Structure 1
Amino acid sequence: MSQSINITNEDILHQVKLSCKIPEIVEQIITRKLIIAAAEEAGIKVEVEELQKAADQIRLVNKLDSADRTWQWLEKHSLSLDDFEEIAYLNLISGKLTNHLFADKVEPYFIENQLDYVGVVMYEVVLDDEDLALELFYAIKEGEMSFYDVAHKFIQDTELRRKGGYLGIVRRKDLKPEISAAVFSAKPPQVIKPIVTSKGIHLILVEELIQPDLNEKLRTNIIFNLFSHWLNQQIAQSETSK
């Protein structure tokens, strides 16, 4: 026989504790308060039209394309209209604060760290046997077999094997130093001598080196990283001052 279960606010808080989510939620609270305080200190204002656009964006992301769906979503998350407006406000004020603090710092940061954003189009096969890796390296170099042949035979992951070991465009900063040094010294297209790391022996085909371009995507990525770093510093300072 089914039975209705009454859930109180105390039940919810207790479950949060049992889920070990308290530190995460406390950090979110600190983050929210820090952003609001910093925005107020900077004199950042929010216009009604801007708030409406931010609310529309939330609806778009969550596919709330009707009043009924919006109310159902609010009810599901135990949110009021005021709560919904606060979410929109926080999203908007965070973006404005980010731009206020770091919009003029993106280009200097990019110039200073330009090498980190150099990219490489590369293919990789990771082996366990260094002697085998060297044997395959020389076989490819002598034209006895292709890199694709090696990838098709020795890569275990199905999708990666189908792509011939293709990793796409990889940034210098995302590579291990020992791999990065060899990769960015290559003259594409070139298979470089096997590199030993803690993950195994890497046989790599460097297809193309790509010089960095400060496009909109990279600009957004940099400004987000700068803001995240600043926010982490603020959180750390608030915790040490307790």
Structure 2
Amino acid sequence: MSNFISVSPVDILYHIKLSCQIPNVLEVIATRKIIADTAAKEGIEIETEELQQAADNLRLANNLLKAEDTWSWLKKHYLSLDNFEEIAHTNLLSTKLANHLFADKVEAFFYAHQLDYTAAVIYEVILDDEDLALEIFYALQEGEISFQQIARQYIQNPELRRAGGYQGIRQRSDFRAEIAAAIFAANPPQILKPLITPKGAHIMMVEEIIKPQLNEQMRLNIMGDLFTNWLQEQVSSLEIVAQLGEDKNYSSQQ
């Protein structure tokens, strides 16, 4: 039996079709075209030094610290050096276009949606039994048991159990409206009375409320969100016509 298999471009396309991935692929292609066309229209250009830095950033993002790492990565993904440069070019063009279109809109958007960027440090245990949840809540209030103890007793997921039910820093948009209202009205550190959702009875401890600040990372996040939403609107307004050929072309290769 042969120890290799030959896969043609027709095979690849046929597999993508059968995997129902064509819509996603077409959306990505349309997005690239929109970025390139809009950047050209807006007169955005890329300098050689900028492209070199973008290529370096791409290598770092993929942990390609040595030349052999880069060559192995290119081989794995069936890419040439020209392809690598094109990826870096597209990444940089996207960044520059996002900055061009939305950098001056970030501050106004932040202050208009500041409440949405408020975050909270949360611990949580979810129970199926509402009466038990209420009983545990009152025990917590009286200091008869600690939150870490109920987490160890009632959380099934090992990692969450070891972390004492720690959910991390969560933004208001991460929660259902009724839960967000209770969390962000809390006076930390505070344990909330059980909140009932389809998932069960939530016993939550709000350790800290974090007020948002318009720092550099927040600016980048908002600008990225605005740019992503804009791209989605552009793509959804298009009628994408794909010329994929007939399946008989694949059959003729068998």
What is the TM-score when the length of structure 2 is the normalising length?
0.88
Structure 1 residues 38-77: aligned runs within 5 Å: 38-77=38-77
Cα deviation for residue 164 of structure 1 reads: 1.4
Cα deviation for residue 85 of structure 1 reads: 2.0
Moved more, 48-57 or 25-34: 48-57
Equivalent position of 2:238 in the other structure: 238
Q: Deviations over 1:141-169 (max 9, x none)?
A: 12222222222211111111112111122
Quote the Cα distance in structure 1 between the aligned partners of 2:107 and 2:3: 61
Structure 2 SS opposite 1:238? coil
Quote the Cα distance in structure 1 between the aligned partners of 2:110 and 2:24: 31
Cα deviation for residue 233 of structure 1 reads: 0.1
Equivalent position of 1:96 in the other structure: 96
Cα deviation for residue 25 of structure 1 reads: 0.9
* Structure 1: gaps of 5 or more residues: none
Q: Does the C-alpha gap of structure 1 residues 225 and 38 become closer, same or farther in structure 2, counting only changes over 3 Å?
A: same
Equivalent position of 2:204 in the other structure: 204
Q: Does the C-alpha gap of structure 1 residues 211 and 8 become closer, same or farther in structure 2, counting only changes over 3 Å?
A: same
Amino acid at match of 1:32: R
Q: Does 1:144 align with 2:152?
A: no
Structure 1 residues 145-164: aligned runs within 5 Å: 145-164=145-164
Equivalent position of 1:187 in the other structure: 187
Quote the Cα distance in structure 2 between the aligned partners of 1:240 and 1:65: 39
Cα deviation for residue 2 of structure 1 reads: 2.3
Q: Does the C-alpha gap of structure 1 residues 95 and 4 become closer, same or farther in structure 2, counting only changes over 3 Å?
A: same
Cα deviation for residue 90 of structure 1 reads: 0.7
Cα deviation for residue 37 of structure 1 reads: 0.5
Quote the Cα distance in structure 2 between the aligned partners of 1:21 and 1:156: 36
Q: Does the C-alpha gap of structure 1 residues 197 and 98 become closer, same or farther in structure 2, counting only changes over 3 Å?
A: same
* Structure 2: gaps of 5 or more residues: 243-254
Cα deviation for residue 4 of structure 1 reads: 4.5
Structure 1 SS opposite 2:108? helix
Amino acid at match of 2:226: L
RMSD between aligned residues? 1.9
Moved more, 146-155 or 221-230: 146-155
Amino acid at match of 1:96: K
Q: Does the C-alpha gap of structure 1 residues 135 and 43 become closer, same or farther in structure 2, counting only changes over 3 Å?
A: same
Q: Deviations over 1:153-209 (max 9, x none)?
A: 111111111121111221111111111111111212211111101111011111221
Quote the Cα distance in structure 2 between the aligned partners of 1:176 and 1:124: 14
Quote the Cα distance in structure 2 between the aligned partners of 1:120 and 1:74: 42
Moved more, 148-157 or 108-117: 148-157
What is the TM-score when the length of structure 1 is the normalising length?
0.92
Q: Deviations over 1:72-91 (max 9, x none)?
A: 43333332333222212111
Quote the Cα distance in structure 2 between the aligned partners of 1:227 and 1:125: 36
Structure 1 SS opposite 2:7? coil
Q: Does 1:18 align with 2:26?
A: no
Quote the Cα distance in structure 2 between the aligned partners of 1:193 and 1:67: 57
Structure 1 residues 98-117: aligned runs within 5 Å: 98-117=98-117
Equivalent position of 1:222 in the other structure: 222
Q: Does the C-alpha gap of structure 1 residues 187 and 5 become closer, same or farther in structure 2, counting only changes over 3 Å?
A: closer
Is this contact kept in 1: 2:26–2:240, CA < 8 A?
no
Equivalent position of 2:35 in the other structure: 35
Cα deviation for residue 21 of structure 1 reads: 1.6
Q: Does the C-alpha gap of structure 1 residues 180 and 4 become closer, same or farther in structure 2, counting only changes over 3 Å?
A: closer
